[in-house]
Amino acid sequence: MRLQLIASALGPALAMLAVHAAPARAQTEFVSKLQVYADSDHTTVVSPLINAQADVGKDTNVSAGYVADVISSASIDIVSQASPTTIHDVRHQVSTALTHKFGSLTANAAYIYSTENDYSSHVVSMGVSKDLAEKDTTLALGYSLAMNDVGRHGDINFHESLTVNELTLAWTQMINPRTATQLSYGLGIASGYQASAYRFVPVMSGGNPMYWVPETDPDSRVRHALVFGVNRYLFQHSALQADYRYYRDTWGISSHTVRATYISDLSKRTQLRVRNRLYSQNGATFYKSEYDALQKYMALDRELSPLWSETIGAKLTRKFAGYAEAELKADLFYYSYSDFPLLPSRTGVNIGVGVGMTY
């Protein structure tokens, strides 16, 4: 079963804009990490990750990675029909990317393939960025296409598809030697099956379910996201990163996200990052906590209900011997669902450890 557990505050499209110029000296990097997610809704995910990248020329960099999500869940999405089922699944993802620098212009392309018990996805992305005004200004453009196949375990006749196009524009501006800003806009267009193949919605009468029907969401969804961020060097060896994101889509959901990260070099080899994220949204126009009659669209999805959340976390990074690096991070989060009686709130932790080497 496909479980969307953690959502990026900036949205997936912005990842395409992280176009890195190849350094003047050729180098190879290898990273290995392990992340463990657990929440109060009886879900755990263990995710080992490896990634490697290498400069294959003065201006060209290639990378490849693999991550697995080992999932165990008895969440409300699984047991909402009084079923004692606990699901176990493994999601595999492989990725590769190529970056090349043409003077002040940097271009990249990437491919990601993921598969699990009842879901597979192909994602192709490309991006380009241009440095202007002696690198004080950077303009970037990114595009991705995701093609997803949706199945249902134990039902060979169930087959749906979902296609997602995303376009992102970004403008990064150095205000002065201590301050940089970024303004970005993301457009996402999803077409196809967007409900859960496993969720069934009760039609209620007198507080009791009369019968259950499959969850139905609109086949089309258009998303808009606008982000403004500031990076500010504060004191010696410290900086502050902050951004605000406004989101709105054609399902009637609008949201606000505020993030802040404080970065401090505790020593020449040790760095500490502390972050906080606040998020709030209203519900989709067709969402109801209880349906008393059949409707065209019916959802039992907490992510479509009104909610707010807060995440606080820290990451400690330590360098060793000039080429090795280790990190330890932990995030604590809380979600409040004001109109989802099956799960009024959810708490959890996301812990990760990792090591990296540069040659």
- So what's the pLDDT on residue 26? 54
C-alpha–C-alpha distance, residues 260 and 262, integer Å = 7
pLDDT tens across 141-159, in order? 999 999 999 999 888 899 9
Tokens encoding 332: 């604590």
CA-CA distance, 132 to 44, in Å (whole number)?
46
Tokens for 86, please give them: 């606990």
Can you say whether the dihedral through the CA atoms of 14, 16, 21, 25 is positive or negative? positive
277 closest CA partner among 5, 7, 6, 9 = 9
**pLDDT score recorded for residue 278:** 98
- DSSP class of 23: P
- In the prediction, which pLDDT does 216 show? 96
232 phi/psi in degrees, rounded to 5: -130, 120
Amino acid at 271: Q
Hey, what are 256's tokens?
A: 């606000």
Report how far residue 104's alpha carbon sits from residue 97's, in angstroms, rounded to the nearest whole number.
Answer: 20
Give the predicted TM-score (pTM) of the model: 0.90
pLDDT averaged over consecutive 10-residue blocks of the chain (359 residues)? 39 38 62 97 96 94 97 78 72 98 96 96 98 95 98 90 98 96 98 94 92 95 98 92 98 98 95 98 96 95 97 97 92 97 96 94
pLDDT in tens, 114-132: 999 999 999 999 999 999 9
